Amino acid sequence: MEFTAEQIAGLLNGNVEGNPEAMVNTLSKIEEGTLNSLSFLANLAYEEHLYTTDATIVIVNRDLELKTAIKSSCTLVRVEDAYQSFTKLLEVYNQFRNNKTGIEKQTFISESATVGEDIYLGAFGYISDNATIGDNVKIYPQTFIGENVTIGNNTLIYAGVKIYHDCVIGDNCIIHAGAVIGSDGFGFAPNKEGSFDKIPQIGNVIIENDVEIGPNNCIDRATMGSTVIKKGVKTDNLVHIAHNVVVGENTVLAGQTGISGSSKIGKNCMTGGQVGITGHITVGDNVKIAGQSGVSKNIKDNQVLQGSPAFSYTDYMRSYASFKNLPSIVNRINELENK
């Protein structure tokens, strides 16, 4: 893929300062710019690199005033917001890169499956009975789609994903490599012999539109009913969502977050890494939970939490300030007692 400065300016509603025919075919950081690469400057902490970069084209804010001359080999594209414009170009680049179509050899599609238009199915993919695949879906190699699964339009499923039977994936979703959707929930009942009997997990997983699931996520099917990941949710690597959990719209879960069975997470929530949420509780809307916190009770809307067990972030910081001084406080108490 190659683009000229003039084409990039047209796409971003920008202005060319330099050679409009300057050509780029790769992307780079401004401090690591190379010939024929495109970069950007949004943070002025990196401005010094603008005057030395070997990048062929650099996107900058329209109001940036140059402190000295840039290299003659460098062309600027001036836009209203360099960061947003570069992000837009990354989206375009990604669309080109993922614009695969066709069905590769050594794949299996059941005769009872329904497959939409302009799909891509990578080698060793398996589409089971009565599965429904929407238009413009991209399914990378070694992916398993179980019986009665429905996948909406424009969804991207990377290599090695496993989607068990009866699960539903919405439109415009991204599921990264190694994710398992719809495996059994952790349901076992103790018996008289002291071992455990497996409780059949007969529900499914519903992932709504515009969701992104990170690599190696495990989202368990419901015992009955559905585990539901609502519209706009984003999950990081190694997230576990247990059976019958509901995650609200536009909530984001950082790496190694674990949510136990039947808990309900509100919309617009954020968790840091390694957050643990116990089962059968409700977390309200707009809640923020700091990394490595453990949540064991219902949380109202708009709370900011930290600690294990988690409590108010402000109270946590005050308590931690005292905790750090605990050795000196104990010494002072001992001195007073000795007197």
- In degrees and rounded to multiples of 5, residue 257 shows phi and psi of -65, 140
Say if residue 1's pLDDT is above 80. no
pLDDT of residue 211: 98
Is the domain of 150 the same as that of 93?
Answer: no
Say if residue 330's pLDDT is above 90. no
Say if residue 90's pLDDT is above 90. no
Is the domain of 156 the same as that of 72?
Answer: no
pLDDT-based confidence at residue 105 (cuts at 50, 70, 90) = very high
Is the domain of 14 the same as that of 146?
Answer: no
Label residues 61-96 b or e (16+ Cβ within 10 Å = b): beeeeeeeebeeebbbbbbeebeebbeebeeeeeee
Say if residue 252's pLDDT is above 90. yes
CA-closest candidate to residue 12, choices 73, 59, 47, 64: 59
CB 205 within 8 A of CB 181: yes
Is the domain of 130 the same as that of 90?
Answer: no
Does 309 sit behind a cis peptide bond, omega within 30 degrees of 0 on the bond before it? yes
Residue 115: CATH number of its domain: 2.160.10.10
- Residue 329 included in any domain: no
Is the domain of 219 the same as that of 132?
Answer: yes
For the entire predicted model, the pTM comes to 0.86
- Residue 63 included in any domain: yes
pLDDT of residue 224: 97
Please say which residue of 77, 97, 117 terminates a domain.
97
- Cα-based distances in Å from 206 to 114, 140, 182, 201: 19, 21, 9, 15
Is the domain of 82 the same as that of 169?
Answer: no
**Mean pLDDT, residues 89-117:** 91
- Residue 90 included in any domain: yes
Selected residue with higher pLDDT from 58 and 101: 58
pLDDT of residue 318: 84
pLDDT of residue 37: 96
Total domains present in the chain: 2
- Cα-based distances in Å from 299 to 283, 285, 288, 313: 5, 9, 10, 13
**Mean pLDDT, residues 124-149:** 98
Residue 29: CATH number of its domain: 3.40.1390.10
Q: Which long-range CB contacts under 8 A does 65-73 form with residues at least 24 apart?
A: 73/35
* Strand arrangement of the beta sheet that strand 282-283 belongs to: 114-115, 132-133, 150-151, 168-169, 204-207, 226-229, 246-247, 264-265, 282-283
Is the domain of 207 the same as that of 309?
Answer: yes
pLDDT-based confidence at residue 150 (cuts at 50, 70, 90) = very high
Domain span holding position 33 = 3-97
Read off the amino acid at residue 94. Answer: N
- Residue 301 included in any domain: yes
Q: Of these residues, 165, 176, 240, 243, which one is catalytic?
A: 243
- Residue 331 included in any domain: no
- Residue 334 included in any domain: no
Say if residue 329's pLDDT is above 90. no
Is the domain of 202 the same as that of 272?
Answer: yes
Is the domain of 52 the same as that of 132?
Answer: no
- Per-residue model confidence as pLDDT tens digits over 26-81: 999 999 999 999 999 999 999 999 999 999 999 999 999 999 999 999 999 999 99
H or E segment at 9?
helix 5-12
Residues 6 or more apart whose Cβ sits within 8 Å of residue 81: 42, 61
- Cα-based distances in Å from 198 to 163, 185, 195, 201, 202: 21, 10, 10, 9, 12
Say if residue 289's pLDDT is above 80. yes
pLDDT-based confidence at residue 20 (cuts at 50, 70, 90) = very high
pLDDT of residue 324: 81
- Residue 118 included in any domain: yes
**Mean pLDDT, residues 186-203:** 96
d(CA 196, CA 61): 63
Is the domain of 173 the same as that of 305?
Answer: yes
Is the domain of 138 the same as that of 269?
Answer: yes
pLDDT of residue 321: 80
Report the percent of the chain where pLDDT is more than 90. Answer: 87
Is the domain of 285 the same as that of 164?
Answer: yes
pLDDT of residue 316: 84
- Residue 332 included in any domain: no
Instruction: Give yes or no: 49 in active site.
Output: no
**Mean pLDDT, residues 274-293:** 97
pLDDT-based confidence at residue 160 (cuts at 50, 70, 90) = very high
Residue 29's DSSP bridge partners are none
